[in-house]
A and B are shown apart, each in its own frame.
Chain A
Amino acid sequence: MMPNWGVCMSINFVRRGVLAGMASAAMMLTVGAPAIAQETIKVGILHSLSGTMAISETTLKDVMLMLIEEQNKKGGVLGRKLEAVVVDPASNWPLFAEKARELITQHKVAAVFGCWTSVSRKSVLPVFKELNNILFYPVQYEGEESERNVFYTGAAPNQQAIPAVDYLMSKDGGDVKRWVLAGTDYVYPRTTNRILEAYLKAKGVASEDIMINYTPFGHSDWQTIVSNVKKFGSAGKKTAVVSTINGDANVPFYKELANQGVKATDIPVVAFSVGEEELAGVDTSNLVGHLAAWNYFQSVKNPANAEFIAKWQAFTKNPKRVTNDPMEAHVVGFNMWIKAIEKAGTTDPDKVISALPGIEAPNLTGGMSKMLPNHHITKPVMIGEIRADGQFDVVWQTKGLVAGDAWSDFLEGSKDLEADWVGKKCGNFNTKTNKCGS
């Protein structure tokens, strides 16, 4: 028996096929009270419970289960109980679309809470449009989108990336003059870096002071890149790294930074995808002072947050379990949805979609977030520094809440666009030509 490369190439095909088969055959479970089907309102939860993204998405499934359980204890909504329908799209982007279709057509869910990566969101969009249902998307993303059926409860670039860069340019942030934009090679980092590059150039940063670097998903050998960053940072100008590195690749990246002695006081790294959950796998004592920009941190002190953390740790029966920003986005999104159903008096998607803009729900950092006509929400922006215990110290935050902007003002072709689902009934209204559809 002498397998050659041909056999190894075919492994990939076999893996794909089996993956899809296994995941759709098994892993379908329905949780909730065994009530009569007509009486409950079904809520779809579309988060990967296996595969690469399980690390981040499993938590979001749990937080949804907790919110639904809690709402049921309060008596549900419109006098009916809620019932969670959990499916596992297994980090497989086409499977996300299949599972979304299954949730809507077979289980007749009233709304879906789900997706993490932008590519999974793009994959389910046509399904939600065709079957006219509602998706709540809880993760910070690259913007350049506003759909009638989607409500974006995570941050748009102007609620995360731009304020973070502004902070680093300020005196407190270290007066940074030279920039490394490092990211994983897919749509979110590429679009965010395009926006940031345009923004930095508008602020007078020269091209030679910007270094852009992309790495594959799950990249684990960071020696060359970290040493290049060190070299780039030796030009005599204060340098910072803006990291859109996603998922598993972060841990080896931070380990290499620590090992090569890149201290936050020399070259700070500000990350957009690293939160409490990701840091749980890293010894942070050498990373103190590196930054993250989010709209929520577990360390924020206020009664609503303290109560949420206590409930979460009790629900997961783990007193050390951390909370993070996308979890807060689901909390806000879920409460907005409940209020919209109460306002509309029905779960009919069309009525709930028109009821949602204008709805307000408290966020966990002490403010009142509002759903805007462009289907994004208002959020505070916070910059946190990593502490030795894996939590963040908030070192800066915006005075009030920032309104999410779907179309970036710094990109050609996007700055004239405006999303308004209330007045103009359009997700990409061109203010120059006064027409819907760019």
Chain B
Amino acid sequence: MIQVRAFCAAVISLFAVLMFAPAAQADFASSLARFAQDEFSETALAIDEIAASGDSRAQQVLEALGSARLFVDPASKKVYWRAATSARTIHDAANGEPVVDPPAGLQVVRINNRLRGATLNAIGALTLMAPDPARRRAAAESIFKSRDASALAPLEAAIKVEKDPSIATLFAQARAVLMLAAPQATKDQQLEAISILRMRADIGAIAALRSTNASADADVKALAADAVTAIEARLKLMSHVQNVWYGLSLGSVLLLAAIGLAITFGVMGVINMAHGEMVMLGAYTTFVVQEVFRAYAPDWFDWSLPVALPLAFLFTGLVGIAIERGVIRFLYGRPLETLLATWGVSLILQQAVRTIFGPSNREVGAPSYMSGAFDLFGLSVTWGRMWIIVFTLFVFVSLLLALKHTSLGLHMRAVTQNRRMASAMGIRTPWVDAMTFGLGSGLAGIAGVALSQIDNVSPNLGQSYIIDSFMVVVFGGVGNLWGTLVSAFALGVANKFLEPVAGAVLAKIFILVLLILFIQKRPRGLFALKGRAVEA
């Protein structure tokens, strides 16, 4: 198999050499020398020449150029590249040999977006027959996007030897795009291209169909327009599914931020304005954990989030207990004083973090399983968002179970329902209060770990969530966890359906107005607690 590919690669190179005869006369070394000029126009020429040279060194050099690993020694004007896998090994670009003692002061060859695109196209054409399927896939996608007519010949050759059916489809789609744009393609070829793209049915296919060559046959144009309408109708349907998904994702973020407050405010009745700062402390815990990982175990970076979760829970839980013991327990039954005192605490925490970590954002990296997106029936789902939804539901279920089936949960419910009776039964109510507040704060802390993946980690992080959290808890019905769940997802989905129609600013205002009207009608929220306990 590989031999066949190698043979074909040789044939293509030969073909390329014949096609670009004038450029190929410039030898590889003089093309390399162009990089040393540090001029975009020279670099552009070098890319074209090297891509057309068919030289076996071309791919290495172009890939290094594309990912800022190609260097020039300003003194000797010699060109080097660094291996993608190892930060230390420097190779001489002229012969590909590793250099033992590379010269100091190497400078990266600069490129701009246009050159980056040209480099990607050139690599695409060179890697159509790479043994690695992922690279062939990437090559097909890059040609699909660039619509670079010169890639047609290598593409045709690659289609002939491709065995993997899914990659063969990608190749066919890439060829279809080139056919549509090419003025010399026959009507039949173009009609076939349209049906292939119609099958693909995504945004990229629409873009390709819309760029049908202006000189194409009227039938072809009509059919292309027809295909665009068909795909658009399908995508419109998908956009509703997408809105629901985005809504669930926003809802999960709201729920995560509010779930701790559902305990401190919902169950205990403490208006805790420092709740947002607990979220912020959780996010900063993640930052500190990641810094430790970066310094001591960079290879284990993917484990930083699982490690940060329990630490954030413990740390913010302890801070929460300290706040309860130090401030709040003196203020039970005095909501306005509690509000002011916790707000003061929130300012102190913010300023403390600002003093320790500085006012600017801190970088919290995304582990590999949290970055990127995958395609689900034409719906682009980002991994990070999906894991946050899963994680939120996990936290929610664990909390429900903890409240129902542990003795601490039983004590908590007893104390919130009838404090004096619980005390008479021998429950240490002050201890339960501290634990409940700690639990709520700990939950805010693990919310901070998740939110550090999508928002900035700065001292202001908590402020942007505090109002939303209160909104979710009040709308859902104070003291009712299921209410919080339904309310978070309802607000999220409603927001995401309003946003495309009304814009982000108006959507937010509409939601607030609707909420105020709703609260006027049902002051206790969606699921109000009933019975004597409420009056206590």
Contact = CB atoms under 8 A, between A and B. Distances in A.
Interface of A: 1-5, 7-8, 11, 14-15, 18, 22, 49-52, 54-55, 58-59, 171-174, 185, 213-216, 218-221, 223-225, 227-228, 230-231, 233-236, 248, 251-252, 255-256, 258-261, 264-266, 268, 277-278, 280-283, 286, 288-289, 291, 385, 387-388, 393, 395-396
Contact of B269 (A3, A227, A256): A3
Contact of A385 (B113, B208, B499): B113
Interface in B365-395: 365-366, 371-373, 380, 382-385
Most chain A C-beta atoms within 10 Å of own C-beta, residue among B40, B112, B208, B382: B112
Contacts of A227: 242, 246, 380
Interface in B88-122: 110, 112-114, 116-117, 120
A109 B519 CA distance: 51
Interface string B435-470: 000000000000000000111111110011000001
B45 interface: no
Contact of A283 (B206, B335, B366): B366
Interface footprint category on B? 35 or more
Contacts of B153: none
A225 B340 contact: no
Contacts of A221: 246, 249-250, 253, 495
Nearest to B528: A2
B373 A260 contact: yes
B363 A214 contact: no
A38 B166 CA distance: 81
Contacts of B354: 50, 54
B53 interface: no
Nearest to A249: B456
Given A55-B361, A185-B505, 18 more contacts: A3-B478, A4-B474, A5-B474, A11-B271, A11-B273, A14-B340, A50-B350, A55-B460, A172-B40, A223-B382, A235-B206, A236-B210, A259-B385, A261-B380, A266-B145, A268-B113, A288-B116, A289-B116
Contact of B454 (A4, A224, A252, A387): A252
A385 B350 contact: no
B343 A55 contact: no
Given A55-B360, A259-B372, A220 B271 contact: no
A265 B457 CA distance: 28
Interface in B502-532: 503-505, 508, 515-516, 519, 523-524
Interface of B: 40, 68, 110, 112-114, 116-117, 120, 145, 203-204, 206-211, 235, 242-243, 246, 249-250, 253, 265, 269, 271, 273, 333, 335, 339-340, 343-344, 347, 350-351, 354, 358-363, 365-366, 371-373, 380, 382-385, 453-460, 463-464, 470-471, 474, 478, 495-496, 499-500, 503-505, 508, 515-516, 519, 523-524, 534
B211 A236 contact: yes
A14 B474 contact: no
Contacts of A3: 265, 269, 271, 335, 474, 478
B464 A220 contact: yes
B505 A4 contact: no
B203 A230 contact: yes
10 contacts: A14-B340, A54-B460, A58-B358, A59-B359, A174-B114, A215-B505, A220-B253, A251-B456, A278-B361, A281-B361
Given A2-B478, A2-B534, A234 B203 contact: yes
A99 to B, nearest CB: 18
B431 to A, nearest CB: 21
A256 B347 CA distance: 30
Contacts of A219: 504
Contacts of B114: 171-174
Nearest to A184: B505
Most buried by A among B113, B209, B471: B113
Contacts of B524: 2, 4
A393 B147 CA distance: 27
Contacts of B242: 227
- List the 8 closest pairs (A to B, CB-CB), nearest first: A281-B361, A236-B210, A236-B211, A251-B456, A5-B519, A234-B203, A234-B207, A395-B112
A231 B204 CA distance: 9
Contact of B457 (A2, A52, A59, A281): A281
Contact of B351 (A50, A173, A283): A50
Given A5-B516, A215-B504, A268-B113, A22 B347 contact: yes
A214 B504 contact: yes
B245 to A, nearest CB: 8
B455 A252 contact: yes
B361 A251 contact: yes
Contacts of B208: 236
A236 B207 contact: yes
Given A234-B204, A252-B455, A280-B361, A4 B523 contact: yes
Given A216-B508, A259-B382, A385-B112, A11 B339 contact: yes
Given A258-B371, A282-B363, A223 B385 contact: yes
Contacts of A8: 470-471, 474
Contacts of A387: 68
Nearest to A228: B500
A220 B454 contact: yes
Contacts of A252: 454-456
